[in-house]
Structure 1
Amino acid sequence: MQRRNFIKTTAVAGAALALPPFVYPQSDIEYSIEELMGKADIELFGEGINLREEAYKSYQAMKKAAYSDGFNIKMISSYRDFYRQEGIWERKYLRFTEDDGMQPLDAIDKIIEYSTIPGTSRHHWGTDIDIIDGYPKVNGDVLVPEKFEAGGPFEAFKKWLDENSERFGFYLVYTDEPKRRGFKYEPWHYSYAPISIPMLTAFRKKNILKLLQNEDFIGCEHFTTGFLRSYIQDNILDINPKLL
């Protein structure tokens, strides 16, 4: 189970609205396979927030700035370890194959529209967040693109994020760029670039294909080498280029 430290929000007051542009130096931090795949015991900060310390502080600064402009950033999801992602994957796979009668490969294609293969989620890193504006009253699933678009309850919040999130180091991951492949557009998913960029760089240096072939969870027996290569190229790497 991951460790959590809780930092008081008052510690980030002050320069929240005047953060300088971020510079991303080459990181000399070593990240283990277990850490990159969500199997390590990492230190997380903030009750109900669960981010690495630096990402947590920047998130709190962004939340404070948004609040001043009339938005209440609400965390929907942040850190998820390998085993929680495995549970999400397996529940979806069984629902699609057993309840909906889909063929295994069709079920896998359906899952990876929005959900990652366990061990490859950016949420394993303690850098990525799914967020909404907590003020509007919303029915049903809040994490659907239409609710962030024109006429949707989060339209104004999305515009605020477009104009401000990068000042705090948070970048949209899965953009609406028409030529982008892989996961579908997720206007709610942001990544803290100063940490996630070096973590992705470290992950790319590993033999991801072999790592996934060594896993054992429901549905993975249908992964072919070709499928995994495409998944790595399209789903892991075809993201906002500012995060590469």
Structure 2
Amino acid sequence: MKKYKTAAFTIIFCVCLSIVSAQEKYSVEQLIGKGNPELYGDGIGLQKEAYDAFLKMKAAAKKDGIAIKVVSGYRNFDRQKGIFERKYKAYTQRGMSPEQAIEKIIEYSTIPGTSRHHWGTDIDIIDGNKNVQNDVLDPDKFHGTGPFCALKEWLDKNANTYGFYIVYTDNPNRKGFKYEPWHYSYKAISKPMLDAYKNVAIIEILKTNKLLGSEYLTDSFMQTYLKNNVFDINPALKE
């Protein structure tokens, strides 16, 4: 029995040590998009290890006739704030209440300071070989006879090999953001960053930054939002 207790203690100690290490490695500023990370890829913005893996994945896809194109990579706090506030103004001007506007925004867009795109690990991708009009980030375009079907099939089969995992799956039991077949994350870095993010006092940060509509981001709302939108993701990215 003593042997098993010792083994269990060792596992718990290692997990705690890993969390502490992640917290020490990643500053709050970096986790909320206010840092100055060294990023790679013109118009992409990935950390070096993630970028190198992306280039390998892109090269492999090219051999199969698919041109992986990043349409959105790194976004800092201010850019995400601009996206959020632009949508907030538009929805409230259409007659939505502030609460309704925020609920509409978070179907797909994050509250600034909570986006995985702040980390230099996540990308939104399409097939650059396809000439697509209007909104390219539409789930229907990745299914059926959509222009990005071949891309999705290739990613389903190969993306994990290069360390990239879909974030917001089509699992009907998953809460939070809607299904995004275009959003992939480099797990080797985003997993420890997610662990470190758990201790970020994001509610106070949003109040300090005077985000438009922040008075409606109550503690209870934010706790639910964080649970559903930030942490209810593809289980493979949390293991």
Give the alignment of 1:206-225 within 5 angstroms: 206-225=200-219
Q: Is the 8 A contact 1:175 1:185 kept in 2?
A: yes
Match of residue 185, structure 2, among 191, 207, 232: 191
Q: By percentage of residues, which structure has more helix?
A: 2
One-letter amino acid of the counterpart of residue 189, structure 2: I
CA distance in 2, matches of 1:117, 1:46: 25
For residues 64-99 of structure 1, what are the alpha-carbon distances to aligned partners after superposition, in whole Å with 9 as ceiling and x for unaligned?
A: 00000110001100000000000000000000011x
SS of the equivalent of 2:103 reads: helix
Match of residue 171, structure 2, among 149, 172, 177: 177
The structure 1 segments of at least 4 consecutive aligned residues displaced by more than 3 Å after TM superposition are 26-29, 207-215
CA distance in 1, matches of 2:200, 2:131: 44
Residue-pair matches, total: 219
Query: Post-superposition shift, 1:213?
Result: 4.2
Match of residue 82, structure 2, among 78, 82, 87: 87
Match of residue 144, structure 2, among 146, 150, 160: 150
1:57 and 2:52 correspond: yes
Query: Post-superposition shift, 1:35?
Result: 0.5
CA distance in 2, matches of 1:203, 1:79: 17
Match of residue 103, structure 2, among 86, 100, 109: 109
Match of residue 201, structure 1, among 195, 203, 220: 195
Query: Post-superposition shift, 1:219?
Result: 1.1
CA distance in 2, matches of 1:164, 1:155: 14
Q: Which runs of 5+ in 2 are unaligned?
A: 1-17
Q: Which runs of 5+ in 1 are unaligned?
A: 1-25
Q: Is the 8 A contact 2:113 2:202 kept in 1?
A: no
Structure 1 length-normalised TM: 0.87
CA distance in 2, matches of 1:206, 1:92: 25
Query: Post-superposition shift, 1:226?
Result: 1.2
CA distance in 1, matches of 2:219, 2:66: 45
CA distance in 1, matches of 2:126, 2:44: 13
Residue 162 of structure 2 corresponds to 168
SS of the equivalent of 2:39 reads: strand
SS of the equivalent of 2:225 reads: helix
CA distance in 2, matches of 1:212, 1:188: 28
CA distance in 2, matches of 1:49, 1:238: 25
CA distance in 2, matches of 1:77, 1:214: 27
Q: Which moved more, 1:86-95 or 1:211-220?
A: 211-220
For residues 207-239 of structure 1, what are the alpha-carbon distances to aligned partners after superposition, in whole Å with 9 as ceiling and x for unaligned?
A: 344434443111111111111110010000000
- Output the aligned Cα RMSD: 1.4
CA distance in 2, matches of 1:83, 1:48: 17
CA distance in 1, matches of 2:140, 2:82: 27
CA distance in 2, matches of 1:133, 1:120: 27
CA distance in 1, matches of 2:39, 2:49: 10
Q: Is the 8 A contact 1:76 1:130 kept in 2?
A: yes
